[in-house]
Every structure is written in C-alpha cells, then in structure tokens.
Chains A and B, each alone.
Chain A
Amino acid sequence: MAVVDLPFRDGYVSSITYVSLYVSIIAVTLSTLFSIPIAIVMGLSDFHGKQFVKSVINTGMGFPSVVVGLVVLFTVSNQGPLGELELIFTKEAMIMSQFVLATPPITAISLAAISSVDDNVRDAAHVLGGTRLDVALVVLKEARYGIATAVLAGFGRAISEVGSVLIVGGNITSASGISKTRTLTTAIQLEARQGQYETAMILGAVLVTLVLTINAIVIRLGDQGVQR
C-alpha cells in the first residue's frame, strides 16, 4: 500500500496531541501535589482506620472512568452545583475528571513506596535531630523512584482514558480542525465510529509513542537521581 491519503487537516494531529497532554499533565500534576502529602502522612503515622482508608484508595484505583465522567458531568452541568462556572464541554471539566481518576493510583503507589522505605532511615533522621519535615523529606528522597512510578501510573490512566473525557469534554474541534476538547483517545473513538480504521491506527500509534516517550524520560530522570 502506498502512502495512505489521510484526512488530516493542518494542525489537527498536533492540536489533539496538545490537548491530550495539556489535560493529562495538569491533572496529574494536581493529583501529585494532592496525593503525595496524603501518602506521606499515612505512611509515617499510625491511626485508627488506616486499613480502611487504604482499602478505599485501592478501590478508587479500579473506579470506572465513565462513572467518574457522569459524576463530573452532573457537577459541572448548568443544573449542577458548579453550573455557574460554565465548565461543561471545556478542558477544565476534563481536568477535573482526570484528576479524580489519577489520584487513587498515585496515592496508593506512593504510599506503598513510602511504606517500604527502611525504618532505619527514618530512625537515623530522627536521631540526627531532624524535625518531622526533615524526616518526611528524607523518606521522600528514598522513595522517589516508587513515586515516579506512581506518577507514571496516574499519567497512564489519564492520557489513555476515553469514557469520561468524551462525556464531559464533548470531543470538540473548531471547523478548521483545531482541537478544543478532542484528545487522541476521543479522536480514535470518533474515527473508529466512522470506520476510518487506518486513521484510528495512526492516532493510536501517536498515543503509544507519546506514552513511551514520557515513560522513558521519567525513568531516565529517576535513574540519574539514584546514581547521584
């Protein structure tokens, strides 16, 4: 087969790729900033009901994305509690749903990484006169590889997700083909719906390449950290 004549308009693929990254990276960044403190507090302390909270977080890892999409839709719809903000069919609504989806895996995997840091490290930091913050930072540094894995897991869930972003984002491009809320995954869904399987495959290849690239970058950064 010769070069396939694909119905890509100028800027189409780069703009949907951009929207995918924009939404996922912001959501995962917010998730990380939200999850890590929770993981540290839970990892460094014992409290009544800790196992229960853990099991809630673990359940959240498997929470169906379309249900998250529906809940966010009800929240941001003009009839919902945040209706005033007019967030329906915007990137912000998509970020909200991705945040909800990415937070449980990031929290759970970070917590596992922090819990597995050797108690001696903590004790040593205490003995050397470290404050609680110092101890937390030392533990965080020891667990950074696991935390990077956690962030990647959250990112993987966010960028490969299709159900909720379709519901709250609406899969919108401008008439000239520049994406507003269309992501790689929802574009693949649209192309498959229209029977354009070659186009869908190419977009799929872009998505997979993107995920591999970002994984490689993050793991590389993690390795450098370990060597230092």
Chain B
Amino acid sequence: MPIQRREFIAAIGTGALAATAGCAQSGESSGQTEAAAESGGGSQPGVSGETLTLTTTTSTYDTGLLDEIHPDFEEMYGVSVDAVAQGTGAALESARNGDSDIVMVHARGLEDEFMRNGYGVNRRDLMFNDFVIVGPESDPAGIQGMGSATEALTAIAESEAQFVSRGDNSGTHTKELNLWEAAGTEPGGDWYQETGTGMGEALNIANQQGAYTLSDRGTYISQRSEIDLVILVQGPIEDGPEILANPYGIMAVNPGIHDNANYDLAMAYIGWITSPDTQDAISNYQVNGEQLFFPEAVSENPDFQQYVPEGWSSNSSDE
C-alpha cells in the first residue's frame, strides 16, 4: 500500500512535468523547462549566490524599467535582485520589518519619516519624472490647459466629475492627498472613488468610467495605447506646475536595526544605480518612443552632505 501511494504521487509529479512542458510556449524548448525546474529548489544562479531584495513602488516595475537595467547589475555582481512591487507605503513597511535590503520609492514625506526613525541610511536622489492629471477627452470639468494643478482639482470637485483615487497609501496616492490639501478641498462624495489598486489598474478603472485620475507620466505612457484618457494638466517635464514633480529616492535598510539586511550588496546597488552608466541607461529607457525617467543622481554641482530628512536636528537622537 505505501508503495502504491508513492507511485501515485510520482505519477502526479510526472504528469505535472509533462503538462508543464506541454504548456510551454512555442519558442521554449523543454530543456529550458528542466533548467527552470532544477533552479527551483531555492538556489539562486550566480557566482556568489546572494540575493538582494528590493521593495519598490509599482511604477518602476510596471513600466519595465527594472527589468531593463537589472541584468547589468546581476551580471556584474553575480547576484539576483528580487524586485517586489508593492507601492510606496507597503515597500517602506516591508523595509521597516527588515524584509528587504533596499527600498526605491517616491514620496519624500514618507521617506523622511523612514530616515528620521532610523530605518534607512544613505538615501540618494535617483531620478525623477512627473505626475499628470488625466481624464476623458470630453473633459466635463473643463480643466484642459489649466496651469495650476490645485485649480484643476478644485474645478473637478466643484463640478463633481468622477475622480478615481488610488487609495492605497502609494507614492501617487500620497501626492494626490497633498494636492487636495493644497487645493483646500476635502475630497468625498459619490464622485470620488478609492480603488485600492496599482496605478495601471486605477487608469483602467478611470478609463472605463470616463473619470479623472492622477497618474505618474511613466505608467500613463506605457499604458496609453490601451486607454482613451488624455493628459489634461501637464507636469513640470512639459512645463507644468512644479507641484507635480515626482522624484524617486533609494535607501539602504539600516544594518544597525536589522542585522540580517544585506547592507554590502545594498550599497553596491546604490553605487551602481547612481553611476553615470546606469543613469545613462535610465535616461535611454523608452516606452512607445518616450523617455519615462530622468536621471538625477549625477550632478555638475554635487551635494556632499549626507542626506538628512527635512527639519532634522542631530540633537534629537541624543534626547
């Protein structure tokens, strides 16, 4: 009886492997399937076999940027980078728990708080793009061409035109809430919907409902062919208001708090991603013929100060 059971399980396993091979796309040989199978036991490819866990916002991942640049790092250091796309709030929370080694996000206020509480070290400005307010071509609130993001939001609120909010504590959501605050409007009511989803899905929902939403330019461009929404208020890249700027930062998890954090590799990653070569690669990355991210780490006038959060006083840590 036990032997029969073992054969039974083996048969399931064999069938499963056959099914895997059968389901493989035409361009893939079964040899690759087996190679993938062999590497599945938890071992990582590469010389040192180490893994760097990067938690990041969905925009860097969904635009394909990380997949474009990471092979260079993986080849150089013989390690694999596990990029977990979570949204800024969740990415910082994972880092706070010591579940990642490095974090790449875009919400300066949350980054400052993370640094101030001692969870992060060696923050560097990485790159920037901007936010845009997108909406249906019919533009029921009449915001097209407005030079001020807060005026546009006020117009949307006053006309009670549909607005889709991420509502997920992401960098974009944080920016949106800051904008409402700057506009002096408390969003609410039937016209304001929180989706609790990533940017791409929020764009889809706004598209389906003919609603306005705040999007980062990168995700909007990479999805533009699928949706009918148009940019109604530009960000600073296209001479829009500075308040729509979207700077990205990168921080290593403080090894003093989480001694399991792979600090050496995290610092190697920060050095690599802020290097001229990688910054070039970032500026050369295009989707549908448009540049999505603008490098910010290399400057003619470098700032030699260690980054400290706004309003930081070094005495506060001694108290």
Contacts and interface: CB of A to CB of B under 8 A. Distances in A.
11 contacts: A14-B24, A19-B40, A78-B260, A89-B99, A175-B69, A178-B36, A193-B58, A196-B226, A213-B19, A214-B12, A221-B8
Q: Is the interface of B mostly helix, strand, loop or mixed?
A: helix
A13 B21 CA distance: 10
Contacts of A11: 28, 32-33, 35-36
Interface string B70-107: 11001000001111111000000000011100000000
Interface in A3-36: 8, 10-15, 17-19, 21-22, 25, 29
A188 interface: no
Nearest to B8: A221
A56 interface: no
Contacts of B86: 170
Given A213-B15, A213-B19, 15 more contacts: A11-B28, A14-B36, A17-B20, A19-B40, A77-B99, A78-B97, A78-B260, A83-B260, A89-B99, A170-B82, A170-B86, A192-B201, A194-B222, A195-B226, A214-B19
Report the interface size class on chain A: 35 or more
Contacts of A210: 19, 23
Given A137-B1, A175-B71, A194-B223, A170 B23 contact: no
Contact of A206 (B8, B23, B200, B223): B23
A193 B200 contact: yes
B160 interface: no
B24 A195 contact: no
Given A77-B99, A141-B1, A195 B40 contact: no
Contacts of B182: none
B232 interface: no
B254 to A, nearest CB: 13
B136 to A, nearest CB: 16
Contacts of A209: 19, 23
Interface string B5-29: 0001101110111011111110110
Centre residue among B67, B80, B85, B99 by max chain A CB count within 10 A: B99
B32 A175 contact: no
